[in-house]
Amino acid sequence: MLKYNLTLLCIMWFSLQLIGQTREAPPVILKGEKLPDLLDVPVDKLAGFRFEQNAWVQIPIQIDEMDWRLAYDLYNQEINNNFEIEMLVYTDPYKYTGPDENTRFDSNDELVFMAKDAGASFTGQNWPAGVIDLPMEVRIYDPLTDQNTFVYLFQQDGSLDPAAG
């Protein structure tokens, strides 16, 4: 009985620590297959924006390039067996995974930004300077606040830094 009460007391104490805390803004991770209008764009020609107080604000985005690799190759061929198992892995020219064979944004790559960087919905026609094409609107719904925020992803002309923010 003492063990049960102590366990219950610990659970209640840890639960009280969570009351009133706000959730930290998590990353939003989108697979390329969910962003068809951005496929085949060079990764350094993508940019993210939010709309805030009647102005566009560029936000940092990150592209994680991924590709299929044999397990055997991931360990510099130092394992005993030549495994014929393919895995989708993050690529890096300075690691055993090597660079992504497709250096453009493709269906298995990931586009990442922070949810806290999202802004208001935009219904106008004036796009930010330096963008080439119409945006892809990403709606982010937060069930804790029951609110939507938005990020706009554009192809850009090279004058913008994708890591800006």
Burial of 47 (0-12, 13-18, 19+ CB in 10 A): buried
- Using only the alpha carbons of the chain, give its radius of gyration: 22
Query: What's the CA gap between 71 and 55, in Å, rounded?
Result: 48
For 42, other C-beta atoms within 10 Å of its C-beta total 12
CA distance 43 to 105: 5
**Could you list the pLDDT tens digit for every one of the 165 residues in the chain?**
333 334 333 344 444 455 555 556 799 999 999 999 999 999 999 999 999 999 999 999 999 999 998 877 776 666 666 657 888 999 999 987 889 999 999 999 999 999 999 999 998 889 999 999 889 999 999 898 899 999 999 999 999 988 875
- Strands, E assignment, 82-156: 86-90, 110-114, 136-142, 147-155
Q: Within the chain, where are the H helices?
A: 2-18, 71-74
